């Protein structure tokens, strides 16, 4: 099971530091943290562009409560 999305920004920065210091290869780091190998370059790119806030960004769909969904539909239809 992948753990992508379960890491907080501080953990992502520590993982990126491990990768950039050359202590391990991209594949070794990906396997160690159960992250897909394409996630690491994505994280690095977002960090280079936006800094700390870039790794806080969640890129996957957010889950919304069942209470909020009807409210959103009503707002849209009004």
CA distances from 44 to 6, 9, 11, 36, 73 (A): 17, 12, 13, 13, 37
- Give a yes or no: residue 61 inside a domain: yes
Domain count of the fold of the chain? 1
- Give a yes or no: residue 4 inside a domain: no
Domain that holds residue 35: 9-77
Q: State the residue for tokens 């806080």.
A: 56
- pLDDT at residue 5, rounded to an integer: 60
The rounded radius of gyration (Å) of the Cα atoms in the chain is 17
Tell me the C-alpha distance between 52 and 37, whole Å. 21
Tell me the C-alpha distance between 30 and 38, whole Å. 9
Encode pLDDT of 6-62 as tens digits.
888 999 999 999 999 988 899 999 999 999 999 999 999 999 999 998 888 776 666
Tell me the C-alpha distance between 38 and 68, whole Å. 33
Band of residue 1 on the pLDDT scale cut at 50, 70, 90: very low
Bigger pLDDT: 4 vs 30: 30
């Amino acid at each position: 099971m992948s753990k992508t999305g379960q890491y907080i920004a501080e953990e992502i920065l520590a993982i990126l530091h491990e990768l950039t210091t050359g202590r391990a290869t991209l594949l070794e780091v990906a396997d160690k943290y159960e992250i897909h190998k394409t996630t690491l370059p994505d994280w690095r790119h977002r960090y280079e562009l936006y800094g700390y806030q870039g790794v806080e960004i969640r890129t996957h769909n957010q889950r919304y409560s069942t209470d909020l969904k009807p409210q959103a539909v009503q707002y849209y239809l009004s």
